C-alpha cells in the first residue's frame, strides 16, 4: 500500500505541475483546435476519454452514493488524470489493504 500511496501522490503532483505549466505557457483555445485537426490528436482524445470511462466505472463500483459518483465523474472530465490521481490517493490512504483499495471499504 505504501507504493500505491506514493505513486498516487507523485501522479497528482506531476499532473498539477503539467496543468500549471500548460496554462502558464500556452493558449488552450488555439492549441486545442490545432490538436483536434491532427489524426493523432483525435486518437489521443479518444484514448483519454475511454480511459476516463474505465476509471469512472471503477469509481462507480467503489462508491455507494450517486451524487458522489457524478461529482467524481464531472471532475474527471474537467480535470482529467489529476482527478484520477487524487481519487486514487484518497482511496489508497483510506484503505488498509489492496482488497479495500480495489473494492471500496464497504464491499471489502
Q: Per the domain annotation, does 15 fall within a domain?
A: yes
Q: Look at the chain and report how many structural domains it folds into.
A: 1
For 3-29, give one letter per residue: b (16+ CB within 10 A) or e.
Answer: ebbeebbebbeebeeeeeeeeeeeeee
Q: Per the domain annotation, does 63 fall within a domain?
A: yes
Range of the domain at 30: 2-103
Q: What is the pLDDT of residue 33?
A: 87
Q: Considering Cα of 96, then 97, then 102, then 107, what sign does the dihedral take? A: negative
> How far is it, in rounded angstroms, from Cα 21 to Cα 26?
8
Q: What is the pLDDT of residue 29?
A: 84
The pTM is what?
Answer: 0.86
User: Averaged in consecutive runs of 10 residues, what is the pLDDT profile of the chain (108 residues)?
Assistant: 94 94 90 90 94 96 95 94 94 94 86
Q: Per the domain annotation, does 73 fall within a domain?
A: yes
Q: Per the domain annotation, does 108 fall within a domain?
A: no
Q: Per the domain annotation, does 83 fall within a domain?
A: yes
Amino acid at each position: 500500500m505504501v507504493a500505491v500511496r506514493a505513486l498516487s501522490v507523485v501522479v497528482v503532483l506531476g499532473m498539477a505541475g503539467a496543468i500549471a505549466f500548460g496554462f502558464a505557457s500556452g493558449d488552450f483555445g488555439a492549441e486545442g483546435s490545432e490538436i483536434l485537426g491532427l489524426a493523432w490528436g483525435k486518437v489521443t482524445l479518444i484514448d483519454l476519454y475511454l480511459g476516463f470511462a474505465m476509471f469512472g466505472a471503477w469509481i462507480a463500483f467503489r462508491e455507494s452514493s450517486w451524487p458522489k459518483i457524478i461529482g467524481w465523474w464531472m471532475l474527471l472530465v474537467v480535470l482529467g488524470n489529476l482527478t484520477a490521481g487524487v481519487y486514487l490517493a484518497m482511496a489508497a490512504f483510506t484503505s488498509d489493504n489492496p482488497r479495500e483499495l480495489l473494492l471500496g471499504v464497504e464491499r471489502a
